[in-house]
Structure 1
C-alpha cells in the first residue's frame, strides 16, 4: 500500500490518549499496564533458577486473555560514575578512592514490562497500516467487562512472577509514566532515549537514511524470521570465560545482547497472544494446501513436514501458539562510531547462534511500536510463530550489580565495568534474616589479594565508627595504622609490636575511668593465674579465692588512694606487704596459699626482673576508647611467656570493649595468628568470641591462607566456620584439586562453587584488581572486585621496597605520611600512565 498522505506532525500521529488508573490508554482504546522489573544480578543465577524464572513467566503469560501484547523492554544506557567528594568528613583515602573512579563508564540497566490488551484487528495490523501512516484514527468504545477482566489477569500475572522470589514486578503509577513538571516520565525518556530526568523532547527524524533521535544515530537489528533463529534454544547458556572443567558459569540465553553488549541499546522482546485455536486451524489448512502442492515443489513438502511437527508438538504437549519478535535498538552520538556499533550488535546476536539482520525498512515503525503502551501498533509481518516456552528463551533474565540500600557497608567494584558499589555484608543480611551473626571467615592463598581486601574492609569499617582490633603476624596493617595515628594526632591508630629496643608492654591494671567491672577483674585474675600456674597445674579452690581477694583489695586500694600508680609493680608490692599481713591475720595456711611461692614465680615480672617491662607500661594508655588497634605478634608467637600473656591481654581488651561499649560496633580481626592462639590453650577464647560477639553488636573475623589448616583444625571447624555466616573466599584456583574438601567443610553449594572458581578467571587487563567472593548464610553469594586508588595502594602495600620508600619520604617531610603517599602517587602517575598492580604481581 502506498502512502499518499500529506506531511503531518508526529504530534498529530501520537497514538497515546491518556493515563487513567495507572494504565496507558491509546487512541485505539488499547489498555496497557506498566511494570518495572527487578531481575537477579549477573553471575548469581543457576541453571535451575533460570528454569524457575522461565517457568514463572510462561505460567503468568498463560493467564492473560487473547489479543494481549506482552512487551518486555530492557534499557542499557552508558553512563559515567560521578565521584562523591562533596560529603562531609571524607577521609584522604576515601577521597582518593572516589577520584580514582571519577567518570568510570558503566552500563546502567532498567527493565520495564508492558501488558497491552488490544483487539483481533489490531493484532493483525501490518506496517503499512501503522498509526504513523493513517490519516485518521477512530476511537472505539471501551468494554468495561473486558477491561476489568484484563486488569484482574494483570494482577494474577504479577503475583505469579513475584512468587518466584527471583524476579520482582512493581506497578508504575501515572506520574512515573507521564512525568511531572520537574521530572521526566517513562514516555519522555523513551523519546529522548535517555534515563536522565530531562523534560525537553528532542527532534525525531524518520528518514530514508536511517532513524535519528536528537543527536543520536539509531540502528535497528531484528530477530523476526525463523530462518535467522538457532536450531536449539534454552533457558540458559554456559559462559565459557568464567567456567572451568569442574564448574559452569551460567547466563540467560539472550545475555549476549544484554549487559555483555557494551553500547547504548534497547532490547525489545515481544510475545503476541492471538487465539491459539485459530492459529492451529490456520496451520492445519496451510498444511493441507502444502500437501496438495507438494508434487510441484519439494519445498512445499518440506514446509508441510515442518508444519506437522509444529502441530504435533502443540497437541501432544498442550502448547500455546503465539507470535514472537525481538529487536535491538542501538544508538550513538558519534556518527563515526555507527559502523562499529552495528558490528558489535551483529557479533553479539551471532553469539546467540542467530543470524543478525540490520533492519532499514521498518526501523521507524519498530521504534514507534516500542513506545510504552503502543505495542498493539507492532507490524505483524515482523513476527514469527512459535510457542510461549521457546519465545521466552529470548528474554534477558539478569541485571547489573546493585548497591545496597543500607547506610553501612564497604565499597567494592562491579565485576564487568568496575563501577563502585556499596555492599553491606554485616547489617542488612542480619535484618533480612539471611544471616544470624556478623562473623566472617576469610580464605585466600598467598598473592590472592587477601591483605589488600582486609585493609580495605578494616579502613572503611573504622571510618564508619567501628572499633577495630587486629591481631597480625606480618606487618600488613602498619601503613594504615600509621596514617590513622598521624591523622588523629596520636589519639588513635595504636600499633603494638615487639622489638628488643621497644618491647611490647601493657598495663592491665590501668583504666581512665577507674571502672573495674566483673570482666575486667576476671581478666586480671586469668592473667595472673597464667603467669603463676602451668597448663597441667590447675589452681586449687583456696588459691583461687586468695588470688581473687588480692585483686579485689588492690583495686579498692587504688580507687581510694590516687597516689598509687596502677601497675603490676604496685600490685606485687601490695601482695608482698599489706596482703601478707591480711593473710597472717586470717591465719591462712601455707598449704592453702603459698604466698612465698606465689611471689617467687611472679618476681620476673616485677621491677628489675627479666620481664619487668611486660605489665608495667608507663604510657597509661586506656585502649577502651581507641578505635583502631593493631597487635603485631610475629616476633613473639613462639615465645612461651610473652605470647600467652599478650594473647590474654588482647582478648581481655576486646571483651572489655564488647561488654562496655553499648550500641557501638566493634570488630576483632585475627590473621594467621589464630593458629598460634589455638595452640596455646586459648581455644576457649576463640569459642567464646565467635558464639557471643553477635549479642554485643560485634563481629569476629578470622583470616587464613592454608587449606590444610582449615581442614585439619577442629577449632576452626567447630567454632569459627560454624559460627561465621559470612564466608569470604579469594582466588582458589591453586586449590582446584582440593576444593571438594573445602566445599564440604564450608558447606558450599554447587552454585557457590562455580562462583568461587570463576574468581579472577577473566579480569579486564585495563584495570588492576582482584576479585573476591562473598557468601551470606548459604542464601546470597556474589563475586565483586577489590580495586583501589594509587594512594590506597601506597598505604596498604606489603612490598618491602615500597613500604621503605613511603617511610623514607615521610621522614623527609617531618613524618607526614599522608603527604608522602600523595607525592609518591603523583610521581608514579607522572612516570607511567599504567597504574601499578595493587597486589604486588
Structure 2
C-alpha cells in the first residue's frame, strides 16, 4: 500500500524509549550498552600489534550470547583548529605559532561501540518491517530480567578483554554522554544533526529513495552487504606504500582507506550479528543438499553447493561461529558538486580495499535508521552476508588521529597527516607512567635535516615553561633565539658567550650574587685552578691539593669580610702576599707545595698577562639565576688553554644549578661540542651528568650529525645512548646504507626502524615543514611534523643571509630583535600573498 503521508514527526517514529542505568532501551525491547573507544595513533602500529588487536576483538566477540549485535561506529568530521590566543603566558613566538595554525582544517576521529541484545525474530527482520515504516510504535515489556543481568555481565567481560590488550581502551558512556547535558551535545543529537557542535539544532530529515538529507546536508551511502562485493582475501593490516621503502614497511589497518585516509565528513558503520551458529549451519547443510539434488538442472547450483560446503568445512574444522556482517560508509556535504566528488572518493577508497563499490539507494533510509546508536535491532537482514568473526573483524578500522598529551608540560608539534598542532610531553608524563626512567635525550640528524631547527623549537618552549636552559654550541645555531630573549628581558636573560678578538670570553669564577660559596662552588674553583696549574698527564700531590684548598678557602673568607671586589687578580695577590706568610708560619716545604712555581704558571691569567681577561670579568654576572645561557665555543674548541677553562666553567654553572635550584627544571644541551668536550678530560663529566641529572629534576641532551661518531665513540655509546631514554631522529635517508649499524647501536625495533625511514617520504607540498621521530623507552614512538610560523622561522634560522638580515635590522632598531622579526615576517607574508594573487 502506498504511503500518502508527506511528512511525519521524529517523535512518532523514534525507535528508542529510554536511557536507564546507562543503557539504551528501544521500544522493541532491545538493550544497548554504549562505549567510546580509544584506538592507537596513526602510523605508530606494527603488523604484530594489529594482529594482537584483532585477536582481542575476536576473543571478546566470542563471549557474547546469541542474538547480540556489535555496532562499531567511527565518525570522521572535518574540523578547524581553534588557537588559544587569550593566554597571558603566551610569548611573542608562542602567539605567532597559534596564529599560524588558526582555523587549520583537519579530520577528527571519534569511535564508538554499541553492543545490543535483541531477539531471534528481530535479527531476521527485513527492511519493510523497520520501525521507520511502522505507523505506531508500542513499547514492549522486557520479560527476561535474568537474561538482561547476564548480558550486562557479559558486556563487562567484553570490555575487560579488549582493555587488557593494552592497545585499545573502551570507556562506557553515561546518560549525559548519550542524551547530552547543558554544556555538551549528546550522541543521539549528534547523529541526527551529523555534527558535534553544541549549538547545532535539529533540522528536517528527508529519508527517501531519491535522497538522504538532514537540513542542507545531503548524504551518499555505500555498502558492503554481499559476498560478491568483497575481496578474495583479507588481513588484519596492509602496507601503506607512500610511507614504505624497499627496506621498511609502514602498516595500516585493512579498512584504513575508509577511515582517516578518506578526507571528508563521513561515518563508517561496522555491524556484526551474532546468530545461533548451530542453527545457521543446519540451514546451510539443508541448503547444500537441495543444491546437490538440483545440480543437474543448473551448473550454478553445483557451484553454490561447493561454496556452502567450503563454508561448512571451515566452521566445523576450526570451530568458527557463523555470523553475519555488514559495513557501510555514510558521507555528506552541503555542496552538491562537492558531494559528487565525495561519492567518487568513497568509491575509490573501497576499491583500494579491493571491494566493489556499491552506491546504495534502495535501503539507504533503513540503513541510516539502523545506524542510530542503540537501534541496531532495526537492521534489515537482507543487507548482511554470512561470514566468520575473524575475517569480519578485518573490516574494523584500528587507528585514530594523533592525540595531544593531557600533561600541562610539553612542546607543540604537528600531526604529520593533517598539520594540526599536537601537544606532546616527552619528559614528565612518560616518567610518571614508567615509560622512561630519565629525561635525557639523544638527537641524531644529518646536516640539513632540520636538527637545529627542532632543537631551537624545543628549548624555546622549555624556556617559556620555566626551565633553566644551558646550551653548548659550535655553530651559532641559537644566536637568534638568545638575542630575542635578551632583548625581551632587557638583558636580564639570554646570555650569549662567544669568542672574538674584539670581545673574548671572560668570566669571574669568584663572583656570586648572594655571596654564598657552598661546597660545589668551592670545588669548581679548585678544579678550575688545578686545570690551569697542572698538565693533563700531571697528577697533583696530596699536599698540593691541600695547599690549594686552603688558599681558595682563605681568599673566600677574606672577600666575605671585606668590600673587595672578588676576581682572579685578587686571588693571585692574596696567594702572593697573605697566603705566602701563612705557608711560612706553617713551615710548608717547597717540595710539598712550590709556591713560586704555582705563581709562575698562573701568571698569564693575572693582570698584564696574555690571558688576563679570561678570569677577571668586570661584569658582575652570576649565571645561577640566568635561565637561558649559550656558550658558543666553535672558535676555541681546539685552543689548549681557553677550551679546558671554558668547559670547566660550563660544568660549574650547570652543576651549581643542579644542586641549588631545588624543584626547578634544568636542561643542558650539548650540540656538536660534545666531540671536543669528550677529548679534554670532560668524558667523566658527561658520564656523571647523564647518570645523575635525573635526580635533580634535570635533563641532558646531546645533538650530533655524524653517524661514525656514534658508532665508534665509547663515550657516546656507554654514557649518552644508554642513559637517554628519549631518542630523537630526523631524516636518515643519507644514512640508509649505514642504518643497520645505527639500529643496532640505538637498540631500535623493526617498527621503530620503519617509522624512522618513513620520515619526509610523503610530505604535503602545500606546507613547509620537516618531520622528526621521537622514541620513548623503546615502547612508545611516533613521527611528528616540525612546522612553525614565519616569525619562529626567522628566530631559529641558521641560514647566514637570513640571520644577518634579522640582526642588521635589529641593530637599526636599537637592538630590537622582536621588532626586526615582525617587520621581516610581515614583508614576507605580503610578498607571498602577492604571488598567490
TM-score tier after normalising by the smaller chain length: over 0.9
- The answer for the alignment partner of 2:207 in structure 1 is 206
Instruction: Name the SS for the 2:108 alignment partner.
Output: strand
1:45-64 aligned at under 5 Å gives the runs 45-64=45-64
Structure 1 position 336, deviation (Å): 2.1
The 1:38–1:300 alpha-carbon spacing in structure 2 relative to 1, beyond 3 Å, is: same
- The answer for the alignment partner of 2:334 in structure 1 is 333
- The answer for the alignment partner of 2:628 in structure 1 is 628
- The answer for the alignment partner of 2:389 in structure 1 is 388
CA deviation string 1:204-251 (max 9, x = no partner): 111342101122111111111111100000000001011111111110
Structure 1 position 79, deviation (Å): 0.2
Contact 1:65 1:150 in 2 (8 A): yes
Structure 1 position 202, deviation (Å): 2.0
Structure 1 position 810, deviation (Å): 1.6
Contact 1:73 1:266 in 2 (8 A): yes
CA deviation string 1:290-313 (max 9, x = no partner): 111111111111111111110000
- The answer for the alignment partner of 2:522 in structure 1 is 521
Instruction: Name the SS for the 2:497 alignment partner.
Output: strand
- The answer for the alignment partner of 1:604 in structure 2 is 604
Q: Equivalents in 1 of 2:807, 2:84: separation in Å?
A: 30
Instruction: Name the SS for the 1:251 alignment partner.
Output: strand
Structure 1 position 139, deviation (Å): 3.0
- The answer for the alignment partner of 1:246 in structure 2 is 247
Q: Equivalents in 2 of 1:834, 1:557: separation in Å?
A: 68
- The answer for the alignment partner of 1:706 in structure 2 is 706
TM-score (norm 2): 0.99
- The answer for the alignment partner of 1:805 in structure 2 is 805
CA deviation string 1:606-643 (max 9, x = no partner): 00000000000000100001000000000000000000
Contact 1:79 1:108 in 2 (8 A): yes
Contact 2:209 2:365 in 1 (8 A): no
Structure 1 position 140, deviation (Å): 2.8
Structure 1 position 484, deviation (Å): 0.2
The 1:181–1:93 alpha-carbon spacing in structure 2 relative to 1, beyond 3 Å, is: closer
1:345-494 aligned at under 5 Å gives the runs 345-494=346-495
- The answer for the alignment partner of 2:759 in structure 1 is 759
Instruction: Name the SS for the 1:635 alignment partner.
Output: helix
Contact 2:209 2:364 in 1 (8 A): no
- The answer for the alignment partner of 2:770 in structure 1 is 770
Q: Equivalents in 2 of 1:720, 1:180: separation in Å?
A: 52
- The answer for the alignment partner of 1:696 in structure 2 is 696
- The answer for the alignment partner of 1:548 in structure 2 is 549
- The answer for the alignment partner of 1:179 in structure 2 is 180
1:528-567 aligned at under 5 Å gives the runs 528-562=529-563, 564-567=564-567
- The answer for the alignment partner of 2:662 in structure 1 is 662
Structure 1 position 82, deviation (Å): 1.0
| Residue ranges of structure 2 left out of the alignment (5+ in a row) | none
Structure 1 position 652, deviation (Å): 0.5
Q: Equivalents in 2 of 1:619, 1:568: separation in Å?
A: 13
Contact 1:829 1:835 in 2 (8 A): no
Q: Equivalents in 2 of 1:497, 1:70: separation in Å?
A: 66
Q: Equivalents in 2 of 1:163, 1:834: separation in Å?
A: 56
Structure 1 position 198, deviation (Å): 3.4
Q: Equivalents in 1 of 2:619, 2:484: separation in Å?
A: 20
CA deviation string 1:373-430 (max 9, x = no partner): 0000011111110000010000000000000000000000001000001000000000
CA deviation string 1:8-45 (max 9, x = no partner): 32210100000011000000010000000010101111
- The answer for the alignment partner of 1:578 in structure 2 is 578
The 1:645–1:181 alpha-carbon spacing in structure 2 relative to 1, beyond 3 Å, is: closer
Q: Equivalents in 2 of 1:294, 1:207: separation in Å?
A: 41
- The answer for the alignment partner of 1:680 in structure 2 is 680
Contact 2:324 2:384 in 1 (8 A): yes
Instruction: Name the SS for the 2:636 alignment partner.
Output: coil
Instruction: Name the SS for the 2:748 alignment partner.
Output: coil
CA deviation string 1:465-487 (max 9, x = no partner): 00000000000000000000000
CA deviation string 1:336-370 (max 9, x = no partner): 21100101111111111111111111111111100
Instruction: Name the SS for the 2:356 alignment partner.
Output: coil
Contact 1:67 1:120 in 2 (8 A): yes
The 1:688–1:216 alpha-carbon spacing in structure 2 relative to 1, beyond 3 Å, is: same
Contact 1:603 1:609 in 2 (8 A): yes
Q: Equivalents in 2 of 1:833, 1:47: separation in Å?
A: 44
Instruction: Name the SS for the 1:495 alignment partner.
Output: strand
CA deviation string 1:710-730 (max 9, x = no partner): 000000000000000000000
TM-score (norm 1): 0.98
- The answer for the alignment partner of 1:127 in structure 2 is 127
Contact 1:203 1:214 in 2 (8 A): yes
Contact 1:243 1:758 in 2 (8 A): yes
Q: Equivalents in 2 of 1:746, 1:400: separation in Å?
A: 28
Contact 2:193 2:200 in 1 (8 A): no
Contact 1:183 1:199 in 2 (8 A): no
Instruction: Name the SS for the 1:12 alignment partner.
Output: helix
Instruction: Name the SS for the 2:398 alignment partner.
Output: coil
Contact 2:17 2:139 in 1 (8 A): no
- The answer for the alignment partner of 2:117 in structure 1 is 117
The 1:579–1:716 alpha-carbon spacing in structure 2 relative to 1, beyond 3 Å, is: same
Q: Equivalents in 2 of 1:399, 1:647: separation in Å?
A: 47
Instruction: Name the SS for the 2:650 alignment partner.
Output: helix
Contact 2:205 2:215 in 1 (8 A): yes
Contact 1:5 1:135 in 2 (8 A): no
1:279-294 aligned at under 5 Å gives the runs 279-294=280-295
1:147-226 aligned at under 5 Å gives the runs 147-198=148-199, 200-226=201-227
Structure 1 position 804, deviation (Å): 1.1
- The answer for the alignment partner of 1:839 in structure 2 is none
Structure 1 position 809, deviation (Å): 1.5
| Residue ranges of structure 1 left out of the alignment (5+ in a row) | 837-841
Q: Equivalents in 2 of 1:457, 1:419: separation in Å?
A: 18
Contact 1:189 1:198 in 2 (8 A): no
Instruction: Name the SS for the 2:577 alignment partner.
Output: helix
- The answer for the alignment partner of 1:671 in structure 2 is 671
Q: Equivalents in 1 of 2:387, 2:85: separation in Å?
A: 53
Query: RMSD of the alignment, in Å?
Result: 1.2
CA deviation string 1:64-113 (max 9, x = no partner): 00001100000000000011111113111111100000010001100000
Contact 1:568 1:606 in 2 (8 A): yes
CA deviation string 1:437-462 (max 9, x = no partner): 00000000011000100000010000
- The answer for the alignment partner of 2:99 in structure 1 is 99
CA deviation string 1:728-765 (max 9, x = no partner): 00011111111111111111111111111111111111
Contact 1:760 1:771 in 2 (8 A): yes
Contact 1:441 1:702 in 2 (8 A): yes
1:236-275 aligned at under 5 Å gives the runs 236-275=237-276
Q: Equivalents in 2 of 1:181, 1:816: separation in Å?
A: 49
Instruction: Name the SS for the 2:32 alignment partner.
Output: strand
Structure 1 position 200, deviation (Å): 2.5
Instruction: Name the SS for the 2:320 alignment partner.
Output: coil
Q: Equivalents in 2 of 1:550, 1:344: separation in Å?
A: 81
Structure 1 position 182, deviation (Å): 4.1
Contact 1:61 1:157 in 2 (8 A): yes
Q: Equivalents in 1 of 2:7, 2:622: separation in Å?
A: 84
The 1:355–1:131 alpha-carbon spacing in structure 2 relative to 1, beyond 3 Å, is: same
Contact 1:669 1:703 in 2 (8 A): yes
Contact 2:80 2:104 in 1 (8 A): yes
- The answer for the alignment partner of 1:748 in structure 2 is 748
Structure 1 position 154, deviation (Å): 0.3
Q: Equivalents in 1 of 2:5, 2:401: separation in Å?
A: 45
Structure 1 position 830, deviation (Å): 1.5
More divergent stretch after superposition (212-221 vs 532-541): 212-221
